């Protein structure tokens, strides 16, 4: 294996692409430099010296990005990225989520359970080794199995006795493979977060929208042992000393400025064909929207009635609401921007390129689109059924997944004859039950079960229903889902701790087999798995692998791989956009917009009294721009997706100017087709962040902890006598040519 310095042909037009940060080549770096970048490749990614990649972290809880911004391991990310952790630390009486929190010292920082942060150590090209196990005669299933085994072997020998966490990732649909080595820290503590009225200002209404005025940030800190190495939580741990941390630039942004984002984008589908667009619009997306929408509506009914339930379900609700609205916007974008036609043009070009080639080209790539078409003709008819089965049954009510795990654990408990092992198993079972119920309300989940099962029955023909609907629900409960749910939640060991403990004291196969909750959960999981097993995924994999390989050879421009939760860099300009006819959005917003949206009768647009006064008094301190305004958010034509939330936005020198947190509604189909004229990344300006920290949250200690970047200023001295400055001699102008004189 060779450590990568420069590799992979991954370039595209100006700003499109989420480029693998370890694989920037000279051509791409030159393009970045021409746009304004003042950093070398080694200053962005290096394994030999401290660089930007050492300040970018992956949040392993919530799938976001963060950045180290101080010499004491201080990390900033988005408010919504730490939302679940903040909720876990909150109670109704001490509601950090609603009221905010700000530690004034290390001692006041709060350990966040189950939170982890990873640093990227290095990247290595392992394509030759991985594909070396592939034989021409292999089926797709055999190929996948061989690659998985080799990837596991490569990762295993790079663990360094557990010091590192290696991952082998596929790129370009299995055409290339790279090893990513991480080091993970588990002692993570909450430093501060703004009140929800700031961190989530605009709520679901403003989500995915511009203009935006959301202070979407939170602060956490990494702790390490005395050797600065990862360690479990301990009062003796010290703030982590980073290899590199970002400097903060509060001098402000201007339209046209170079901007760059580094982070961990989760998933894109830029190579999706017209067949995939058709499936998304008419099959998968509407089912996802219906399933998530029903769950959200049910949750909200209970959340509006009870503050304790609202707090308990806040993070779950926010996460699903974000996804639900995303798929609504994506579907609209795919239709409005006619993405299918764009994909068809590419496919026609590909057909022509293959036909114009030699016999070898036709052999390698001639069947690619045909395989993809076959896949969709076989699977598209099952997509709606599979989606509803997953969202409404197997992955519907929260208890379903837990019940499947519980059934497996109790079955193993029944078979175990060793008393000491049974005692340990009992502890694990009861511990798992306690963990499940920590943020769980049975009444809410019962209502969700009823709503989602009925949604499934409404949208799926009766002959396709799982067997338990035809027998248990139809015959025993006369198709009354509410009565079935009431019986499950009253009698199942999954809900009733007394019944569970009675079973553990006197286990029996008969009792386990008659548990209605586990019976239906297991049957639903088996049903959903059975549908997914019919997916002819081998044709999909082979078709896209060949299509993408050929497409990369056909294209004169270089192409970026789809996002896959590996560190990427994207770059562009701070830039406005035209959203519609006669509607041009400016590139930044100010606190004036907060007052314009202010409505304390609407939970989404509440503004704290103190913030109102600070804005009205223009008490912005050093964070105001040259016009005396306080910029809240800005946009740029940077290419990001989910997972980039919390990523640092950096200037041409790699200094921190903001945090990325959203995309814009007009380009919601951008994960499938980049829209250069419309696609914008929404970022919270670092000046607004630090204003809130210092002025609203009282976190002057945090502001003082940062390292600041300042442009050198030439001092002007007052002179007693004016000095006449003679102009420098200029070369004589070239003699003018006589237009009448011919060569």
Task: List, for residues 274-284, the tens digit of each pLDDT value.
Answer: 999 999 999 99
Q: Tens digit of pLDDT for each residue in 638-672? A: 999 999 999 999 999 999 999 999 999 999 999 99
- Give tens-digit pLDDT for 361-416: 999 999 999 999 999 999 999 999 999 999 999 999 999 999 999 999 999 999 99
Strand partners, 57: 66, 119
Helix, strand or coil for residue 161?
Answer: coil
Read off the pLDDT band of 61 (50, 70, 90). Answer: confident
Q: How many CB atoms lie within 10 A of CB 710?
A: 10
Tens of pLDDT, residues 76-120: 999 999 999 999 999 999 999 999 999 999 999 999 999 999 999
| Total-model pTM | 0.91
| 100 Cβ contact partners less than 8 Å away, ≥ 6 residues apart | 192, 193, 194, 195, 196, 198, 199, 697
Residues 6+ apart with CB under 8 A from 462: 470
Q: Please state, in angstroms and rounded to a whole number, the distance separating the CA atoms of residues 214 and 594.
A: 9
471: pLDDT strictly greater than 60: yes
Mean pLDDT of the chain: 93
Average pLDDT over residues 580-599: 97
Residues designated catalytic: 80, 216, 645
Q: Mutual orientation of helices 419-437 and 398-415 as an angle, nearest 10°?
A: 170
Cβ atoms < 10 Å from Cβ of 210:
22
Q: How far apart are CA 517 and CA 272, in angstroms?
A: 39
Phi then psi for residue 279, to 5 deg, are -65, -40
Cis status of the peptide bond prior to 211, with omega within 30 of 0: yes
Percentage of the chain exceeding pLDDT 90: 91
Q: Token pair for residue 332? A: 């609209």
pLDDT given for residue 557 in this prediction: 84
Rounded Cα distance between 202 and 599, Å, is 10
CB 2 within 8 A of CB 11: no
Query: Are the C-beta atoms of residues 79 and 216 closer than 8 Å to each other?
Result: yes
3-state secondary structure at position 182: strand
Q: Give the mean model confidence (pLDDT) for residues 712-741.
A: 39
What is the per-residue pLDDT across 521-537, written as a single tens digit (0 to 9) for each?
999 999 999 999 999 99
Residue 16, pLDDT score:
86
Return contacts of 164-169, CB within 8 angstroms, 24+ apart: 164/121, 165/118, 168/126, 168/130, 169/564, 169/566
Answer yes or no: is pLDDT of 500 > 70: yes
Q: How much is the pLDDT for 714?
A: 39
With beta carbons less than 8 A apart as the criterion, state whether 326 and 208 touch: yes
pLDDT for the residue 622? 96
Nearest to 248 by CA among 376, 493, 69: 69
Q: How far from the centroid of its chain's Cα atoms is residue 341's Cα?
A: 28
Percentage of the chain beyond pLDDT 70 is: 94
Contact predicate 258/35, CB 8 Å: yes
Q: What is the pLDDT of residue 711?
A: 64
The mean-pLDDT minimum among 23-27, 47-51, 306-310, 328-332 falls in 23-27
Q: Does the structure show a pLDDT above 50 at 581?
A: yes
What are the residue ranges spanned by the domains of the chain?
Answer: 55-249, 274-532, 568-705
Quick count: other Cβ atoms within 10 Å of Cβ 396?
26
Tokens at residue 471, please?
């027998």
pLDDT at residue 27 in the model = 76
pLDDT in tens, 165-207: 999 999 999 999 999 999 999 999 999 999 999 999 999 999 9
Report the C-alpha gap between 43 and 648 in whole angstroms.
Answer: 16
CATH architecture, range 568-705: Beta Barrel (2.40)
Angle at 128 between CA 349 and CA 48, to 5 degrees: 105
Checking if the pLDDT of 127 tops 50, the result is yes
How far is it, in rounded angstroms, from Cα 585 to Cα 579? Answer: 7
| Digit-coded pLDDT (tens) for 210-229 | 999 999 999 999 999 999 99
Give 358-372 pLDDT, tens digit per residue: 999 999 999 999 999
pLDDT given for residue 12 in this prediction: 40
Enclosing H/E stretch for 613: helix 609-616
């Amino acid at each position: 294996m060779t450590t990568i310095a420069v590799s992979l042909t991954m370039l595209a037009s100006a700003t499109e692409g989420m480029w693998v940060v370890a694989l920037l080549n000279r051509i791409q770096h030159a393009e970045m430099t021409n746009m304004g970048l003042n950093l070398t490749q080694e200053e962005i990614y290096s394994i030999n010296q401290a660089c930007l990649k050492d300040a970018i972290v992956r949040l392993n809880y919530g799938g976001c990005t963060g950045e180290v911004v101080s010499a004491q391991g201080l990390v900033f990310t988005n408010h919504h990225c730490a939302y679940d952790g903040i909720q876990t630390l909150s109670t109704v009486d001490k509601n950090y989520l609603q009221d905010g929190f700000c530690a004034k010292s290390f001692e006041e920082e709060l350990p966040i359970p189950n939170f982890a942060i990873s640093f990227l150590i290095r990247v290595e090209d392992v394509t030759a080794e991985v594909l070396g196990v592939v034989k021409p005669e292999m089926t797709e299933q055999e190929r996948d199995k061989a690659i998985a085994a080799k990837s596991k072997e490569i990762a295993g020998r790079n663990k360094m006795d557990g010091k590192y966490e290696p991952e082998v990732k596929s790129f370009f649909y299995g055409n290339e493979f790279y090893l990513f080595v991480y080091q993970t820290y588990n002692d993570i503590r909450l430093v501060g977060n703004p009140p929800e009225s700031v961190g989530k200002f605009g709520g679901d209404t403003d989500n995915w929208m511009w203009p935006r005025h959301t202070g979407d940030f939170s602060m956490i800190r990494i702790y390490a042992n005395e050797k600065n190495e990862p360690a479990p939580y301990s009062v003796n741990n010290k703030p982590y000393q980073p290899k590199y941390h970002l400097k903060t630039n509060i001098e402000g942004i201007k339209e046209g400025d170079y901007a760059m984002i580094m982070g961990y984008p989760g998933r894109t589908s830029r190579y999706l064909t017209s067949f995939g667009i058709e499936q998304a619009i008419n099959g998968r997306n509407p089912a996802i929207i219906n399933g998530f929408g029903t769950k959200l509506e049910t949750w909200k009914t209970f959340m509006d009635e009870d503050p304790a339930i609202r707090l308990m379900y806040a993070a779950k609700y926010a996460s699903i609401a974000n996804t639900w609205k995303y798929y609504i916007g994506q579907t609209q974008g795919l239709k409005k921007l006619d993405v299918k036609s764009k994909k068809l043009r590419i496919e026609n070009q590909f057909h022509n390129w293959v036909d114009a080639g030699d016999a070898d080209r036709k052999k390698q790539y001639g069947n690619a689109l045909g395989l993809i078409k076959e896949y969709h003709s076989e699977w598209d008819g099952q997509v709606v059924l599979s989606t509803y089965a997953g969202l409404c049954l197997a992955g519907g009510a929260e208890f379903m997944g837990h019940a499947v795990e519980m059934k497996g654990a109790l079955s193993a408990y029944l078979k175990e004859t060793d008393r000491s092992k049974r005692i340990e198993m009992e502890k694990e079972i009861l511990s798992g039950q306690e963990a499940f119920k920590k943020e769980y309300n049975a009444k809410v989940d019962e209502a969700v079960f009823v709503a989602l099962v009925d949604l499934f029955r409404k949208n799926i023909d009766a002959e396709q229903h799982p067997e338990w609907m035809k027998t248990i629900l139809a015959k025993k409960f006369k198709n009354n889902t509410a009565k079935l749910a009431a019986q499950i939640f009253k009698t199942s060991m999954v809900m009733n701790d007394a019944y569970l403990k009675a079973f553990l004291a006197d286990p029996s196969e008969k009792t386990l087999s008659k548990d209605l909750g586990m019976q239906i959960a297991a049957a639903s999981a088996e049903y959903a798995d059975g549908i997914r097993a019919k997916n002819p995924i081998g044709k999909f994999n082979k078709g896209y692998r060949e299509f993408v390989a050929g497409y990369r050879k056909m294209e004169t421009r270089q192409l970026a791989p789809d996002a896959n939760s590996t560190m990427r860099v994207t770059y562009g300009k701070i830039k406005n956009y035209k959203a519609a006819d006669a509607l041009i959005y400016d590139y930044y917003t100010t606190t004036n917009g907060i007052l314009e949206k202010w409505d304390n009768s609407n939970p989404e647009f509440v503004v704290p009294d103190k913030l109102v006064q600070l804005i009205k008094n223009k008490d912005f301190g050093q964070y105001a721009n040259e016009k005396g305004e306080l910029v809240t958010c800005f946009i740029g034509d940077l290419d990001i997706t989910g997972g980039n939330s919390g990523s640092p936005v950096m200037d041409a020198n790699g200094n921190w100017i903001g945090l990325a947190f959203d995309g814009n509604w007009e380009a919601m189909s951008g994960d499938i087709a980049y829209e250069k004229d419309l696609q914008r990344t929404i970022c919270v300006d670092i000046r607004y962040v630090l204003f809130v920290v210092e002025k609203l949250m009282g976190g002057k200690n945090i502001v003082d902890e940062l390292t600041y970047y300042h442009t050198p200023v030439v001092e002007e001295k007052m002179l007693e006598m004016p000095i006449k400055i003679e102009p420098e001699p200029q070369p004589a102008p070239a003699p003018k040519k006589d237009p009448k004189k011919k060569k």
